[in-house]
Amino acid sequence: MDKNVKHIGIFTSGGDSPGMNAALYGAAKAAESHGIKITGIRRGFEGMIDGDFVELKAKALQEAVHRGGTLLKTARSERFRTLGGRKAALQKLEEKEVDALIAIGGDGTFNGLLAFEEICKLPTIGIPGTIDNDLTGSDFTLGFDTAVNTAIQSIDKIRDTAESHNRIFLVEVMGRDSGYIAIHSGLGTGADGILIPESGDDFVRLLETVRHYHSEEALIVVVSEGDELGVGLVAEKIREVNPGVDLRITTLGHVQRGGSPTAADRMLGIRLGAAAVEALLAGESAAMAGLINNQLSLTPFEQVVKQHRVSEELEGLMKMFNT
């Protein structure tokens, strides 16, 4: 055990995702079991610069495992992008006598920690917190399972009204650079079409389907927000090939980020929170804790990059069911 680690600072950064509070609980419980103090840093890097610290206790966090969002709040920090901002953050950490950091966020958060290494020698471990599931180093990221379940519940309800009126519905889900939410929610709801940023020829097949659509039944198309066409242009092209269709657009938006985390996200958060503490005590640094084949793993921050393509298997399934 690294005896130099006596006081861990932990924060959430970037977009919030369900399961972050579970990760805080897992980290706090693991730290307390080793007699290590753990302090929360509110509002991410921005709060670090301002010295916005709060003591964390596992007992209090235990009661928040079921809550979405993050008790520590989150923010993006332009000040931390500057050397002056990072120096100010380091000064606050030194004043608080924090000697290790755990960050819950996405690749932007981990890139921030890499930049911080230029002046800060504190060991750092990351936990993947993003609903998009677009990071290497973990099969699933915190919040993805909850977001997919939220999207599925919404699309199921949309199908009820779509079938009552024999309408086409375009349902936009989150996923700026990744189609994981769209594929999982689309396949899981029996959608008639799925459009994602990683694939371009699916739109051509969709137009052929719509061209021969005669309003005899509902038609559901799930569109990832990062799809280069955009849901508005998709609607426009559909009306061009079949002017008589009754078409509606629904954007699910930030509802996918909220809500009580699923059992999978709660367990993922607890496991990765505890694993992050154990990694620090083992002398690890500048790496993200994740699960690969349900086994804990560490991936260096330099290798944690956004996945801009879904797996070949999932893309193959999508093409199969889009025909």
Q: Which residues are catalytic?
A: 132
Q: Dihedral, CA atoms, 103, 109, 110, 114, nearest 10 degrees?
A: -110
DSSP state of 8: E
Q: Which helix (H) or strand (E) element contains residue 154? A: helix 144-165
Closest C-alpha among 121, 90, 105 to residue 5: 121
Helix (H, G, I), strand (E, B) or coil at 176: coil
Q: What DSSP string describes 70-123?
A: -TT-----SGGGSHHHHHHHHHHHHHHT--EEEEEE-HHHHHHHHHHTTT----
Q: Which helix (H) or strand (E) element contains residue 53? A: strand 53-55
Residue 76, both tokens: 């993006």
Distance CA 10, CA 125 (A): 10
- CA–CA distances in Å: residue 99 to residues 94, 102, 115, 201: 8, 11, 17, 51
Residue 161, both tokens: 């009204």
